């Protein structure tokens, strides 16, 4: 019987995308040691020093009055945009065609009657102020994802982002930031997290992606907004009895992970230089704006997967997770998150992996 993809990945000595793998035993041991060292105590439905201190830390970091630790980003964004639309008296939310709300949340905003959406801009590029102004419909909120994962981690220019913030402020439009990867985009902008978040009325951030926690998210905004959001979290089943495990898993490594982001971005810039030697591997965006990218290939997703499995079996190198068919026939792409793995992979090993991958793509 052929090994499964997970078995192949486990057998590899080199894994290129993402952060180094961990185990529950190692994670729980680290969490226990951190709790012991910091005198951590359980919360009760989110009430307690551990949770409140972490909420205050993130609120101060991003420059907001208040923050609320919640179970998931899906819950955070549903509530945030529902309240924003209600506050403005206009249920329509403007967003990009690749927004997480549309692609991954199974239409919860429609089925649960949270808000309505209208897509703006080019689906292959970040939306602009011109795109926003071209929309005649009276919307109460606009959502911006920084960076935009589904188009390779693209982000608008800093000047473009600032003009969008100013316009929304002047027009009374609630501007919400999907900051699932806000920690990553700061290095690309060369700006602080507070500078990026300034001008947004509400922000969602994640703690299990680049931060490497067990799960959880945070919603930030004005105190009254967060207090109302807390009530809606309870209505929607988000009032967890214990939030401490997720908070500990994030808090114990938050500073370290944040400090690593500039090095990960620099490694991504270096990777782009190396990719010029392998034209069969085409990165998107043309220049990285965070430590993530899409790699496009001149083969179908099925063929790309065959190549991945063959290189894993024969050379012990895991190239990527899932391949997706692209618009043109016999073309596909994969997502690469430049994390610990690529940072720690020796340069010569990375070049070897790219060489094997490129040669297989060009073989007939």
What are the pLDDT digits (tens) for 124-135?
999 999 999 998
Question: Quick one: 138 exposed, middle or buried, by C-beta within 10 A (0-12, 13-18, 19+)?
Answer: exposed
Q: Which of 204, 222, 252 is the last residue of a domain?
A: 252
- pLDDT, tens digit, 9 for 90 and up, residues 71-86: 999 999 999 999 999 8
Cα–Cα distance measured from residue 80 to residue 140, given in angstroms and rounded to the nearest whole number: 12
Question: Which residue's structure tokens are 């486990």?
Answer: 10
> Do residues 199 and 120 share a domain?
yes
> What pLDDT does residue 183 have?
97
Residue 234 shares a structural domain with residue 263: no
Contacts 24+ apart (CB under 8 A), 272-279: 274/350, 274/351, 274/354, 275/354, 277/351, 277/354, 278/354, 278/355, 278/357, 278/358, 279/358
Question: What is the pLDDT, as a whole number, of residue 295?
Answer: 98
Dihedral angle, C-alpha 287, 289, 293, 296, nearest 10 °: -30
Q: Is the model's pLDDT at 286 over the cut of 80?
A: yes
- Highest average pLDDT, of 98-107, 108-117, 290-299, comes from 290-299
Distance CA 191, CA 168 (A): 21
Assess if residue 88 is contained within a domain. Answer: yes
CA-to-CA distance for 142 and 38, rounded, in angstroms?
40
My answer on whether 46 and 181 are in the same domain is yes
Read off the pLDDT of each residue in 264-274 and give the average, rounded to a whole number: 98
Is pLDDT above 80 for 274? yes
Return the pLDDT at 364. 64
Both 272 and 172 in a single domain?
no
Please check whether residues 225 and 99 belong to one and the same domain: yes
| Contact criterion met (CB below 8 Å) for 155 and 205 | no
- Tell whether 342 and 283 lie within a shared domain: yes
- What tokens does 349 get? 């090993």
Amino acid 278: pLDDT: 97
Q: Which domain holds residue 307?
A: 5-22+256-362
Query: Residue 137: is its pLDDT beyond 80?
Result: yes
What pLDDT score was predicted for residue 23?
Answer: 94
Residues 248 and 267 in one domain: no
Is the pLDDT at 99 greater than 80, yes or no? yes
Averaged pLDDT, 197-210: 96
Residue 111 is predicted with a pLDDT of 66
SS3 label, residue 69: strand
Does 208 reside within a domain? yes
Mean pLDDT of 192-212: 97
Whole-number percent of the chain with pLDDT over 70:
99
Judge whether 31 lies within some domain. no
In a domain, 34, yes or no: no
CATH number at residue 147: 3.40.640.10
345 and 219 co-located in one domain: no
Report how far residue 345's alpha carbon sits from residue 274's, in angstroms, rounded to the nearest whole number: 14
Q: What is the pTM of this model?
A: 0.95
Domain total in the chain:
2
**82 and 221, same domain (yes or no):** yes
Taking the C-alpha atoms of residue 310 and residue 8, their distance in angstroms, rounded to an integer, is 9
- The mean of the pLDDT values for the chain is 95
- Residue 96: the pLDDT is 96
Is residue 344 scored above 80 in pLDDT?
A: yes
């Amino acid at each position: 019987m052929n090994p499964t993809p997970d078995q192949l990945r486990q057998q590899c000595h080199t894994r290129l995308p993402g952060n180094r793998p961990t185990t529950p035993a190692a994670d729980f041991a680290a969490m226990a040691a951190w709790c012991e060292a910091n005198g951590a105590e359980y919360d009760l439905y989110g009430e307690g020093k551990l949770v409140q201190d972490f909420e205050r830390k993130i609120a101060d970091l991003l420059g907001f009055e208040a923050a609320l630790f919640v179970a998931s980003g899906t819950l955070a964004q549903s509530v945030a945009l529902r309240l924003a639309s209600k506050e403005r008296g206009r249920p329509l939310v403007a967003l990009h065609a690749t927004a997480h709300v549309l692609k991954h949340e199974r239409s919860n905003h429609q089925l649960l009657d949270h808000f309505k959406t209208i897509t703006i801009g080019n689906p292959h590029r970040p939306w602009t102020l011109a795109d926003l102004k071209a929309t005649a419909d009276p919307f109460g909120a606009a959502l911006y994802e920084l960076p935009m994962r589904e188009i390779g981690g693209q982000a608008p220019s800093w000047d473009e982002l600032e003009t969008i913030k100013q316009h929304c402020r002047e027009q009374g439009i609630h501007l919400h930031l999907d900051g699932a990867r806000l920690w990553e985009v700061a290095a690309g902008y060369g700006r602080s997290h507070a500078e990026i978040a300034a001008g947004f009325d509400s922000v969602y951030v994640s703690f299990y992606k680049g931060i490497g926690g067990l799960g959880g998210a945070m919603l930030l905004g004005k105190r009254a907004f967060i207090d109302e959001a807390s009530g809606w979290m309870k209505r929607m089943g988000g009032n967890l009895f214990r939030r401490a495990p997720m908070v500990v898993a994030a808090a114990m490594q938050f500073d370290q992970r944040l400090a690593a982001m500039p090095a990960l971005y620099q490694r991504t810039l270096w990777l782009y230089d190396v990719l010029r030697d392998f034209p069969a591997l085409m990165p998107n965006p043309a220049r990285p704006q965070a430590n993530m990218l899409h790699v496009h290939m001149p083969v179908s997703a099925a063929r790309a997967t065959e190549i991945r499995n063959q290189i894993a079996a024969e050379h012990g190198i895991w190239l990527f997770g899932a391949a997706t068919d692209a618009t043109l026939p016999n073309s596909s792409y994969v997502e690469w998150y430049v994390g610990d793995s690529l940072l720690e992979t020796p340069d010569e090993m990375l070049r070897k992996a790219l060489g094997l991958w490129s040669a297989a793509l060009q073989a007939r």
